[in-house]
Chain A
Amino acid sequence: GAGVSQTPSNKVTEKGKYVELRCDPISGHTALYWYRQSLGQGPEFLIYFQGTGAADDSGLPNDRFFAVRPEGSVSTLKIQRTERGDSAVYLCASSLNVGANTGELFFGEGSRLTVL
C-alpha cells in the first residue's frame, strides 16, 4: 500500500534489552515524526525529521532513546536498556508540507512495545 508502514506491529521484550522500531513513510514525504501513545492518552511528540536530520528531538524522554533517518526515507527508533515504563504504542507519521503549520499528518498503525 501507499501508507505509512511500521514494523514490527507488536514487540515484547525484557527489561534491559535493546529494541529497534522501523518506519517507512509515504513516498515523497520529506517530514517524518515519531510519537508515543500510552494507554488512554493522546500521542506525545518525540522527534521530528526534515530530510535526514533531526530538526527537533525535544520530546525524547532521555538518552536511552535515539532515532535515525540516514537516507531521508526510512527511520528507525532505537531504545536502549528498555524499562517497563517504555511500554506504549510508538506511532510514526509523515507529511508533505513543512513550510507552514497547516500540514496533515499521515500516521502508521503503530508498533506496540511491551517491556516485561
Chain B
Amino acid sequence: GNSVTQMEGPVTLSEEAFLTINCTYTATGYPSLFWYVQYPGEGLQLLLKATKADDKGSNKGFEATYRKETTSFHLEKGSVQVSDSAVYFCALTPSNTGGFKTIFGAGTRLFVKA
C-alpha cells in the first residue's frame, strides 16, 4: 500500500545550522509529494509541494526535490532560525485516487536553539 516514512525526531539544531529531514515513500504510479508544517498552537499548513519527478518545491528557504529513483523527498534548509521550530510532516497523494486521500508521515519535531 501507500505509505510515508520520515526520520524520527526530535531534531535539535543551533541557529544557522543546516537542516535535513529525510522522507521516503511507497506508492504506485506518480504521487504528488508535500511537506506540511505545524507551528506551536497552530494548524497544519502547506510548506511546499512537488507534483512530478525531478520537480523541486521551495518556500521560506526550505527545499525538497522529488526523486523517483530513490522514492525520496528530503526537506532541506541551509540556515535554520529559531522561528523554524515546529513539527514537519511529509505527505503524499496517490495518483490513483484523484487526489482525495493524502497520506502523512509520523512527523519530525525540530527544535532550533538561539
Residues of A within 8 A of B (CB): 3-4, 31, 33, 35, 40-45, 48, 50, 55-56, 58-59, 91, 93, 97-110
Instruction: Tell which of B42, B97, B101, B105 touches A42, judged by Cβ atoms closer than 8 Å.
Output: B105
Contact A40 B106 (CB under 8 A): yes
* Given known A101-B31, A102-B49, contact A45–B103 (CB-CB < 8 A): yes
Contact A43 B99 (CB under 8 A): no
Contact A101 B98 (CB under 8 A): yes
Residues of B within 8 A of A (CB): 4, 31-32, 34, 36, 42-46, 49, 51, 89, 91, 93-95, 97-107
- Interface centre among A43, A59, A93, A97, by most chain B C-beta atoms within 10 angstroms, is A43
Contact B43 A42 (CB under 8 A): no
Contact A56 B101 (CB under 8 A): yes
In the complex, what residues of B have CB within 8 A of residue A108's CB? 43
Contact B45 A101 (CB under 8 A): no
Task: State A29–B95 Cα separation when bound (angstroms).
Answer: 21
Give chain A's interface secondary structure class.
Answer: loop
Contact B43 A107 (CB under 8 A): yes
Give, as a whole number of angstroms, the nearest-CB distance from A116 to chain B. 24
Contact A105 B46 (CB under 8 A): yes
Task: State A100–B95 Cα separation when bound (angstroms).
Answer: 8
Contact A31 B100 (CB under 8 A): yes
Task: State A33–B36 Cα separation when bound (angstroms).
Answer: 16
In the complex, what residues of A have CB within 8 A of residue B43's CB? 3-4, 91, 107-110
Contact A101 B97 (CB under 8 A): yes
For the complex with contacts A4-B43, A42-B4, A104-B34, 17 further pairs of A-B residues with Cβ separation under 8 Å are: A3-B43, A41-B106, A42-B104, A42-B106, A43-B44, A43-B104, A45-B101, A56-B97, A98-B100, A100-B98, A100-B99, A101-B94, A101-B97, A102-B32, A102-B51, A102-B93, A108-B43
What 4 A-B pairs come out closest when comparing CB atoms?
A: A101-B99, A42-B104, A107-B43, A107-B44
Contact A56 B100 (CB under 8 A): yes
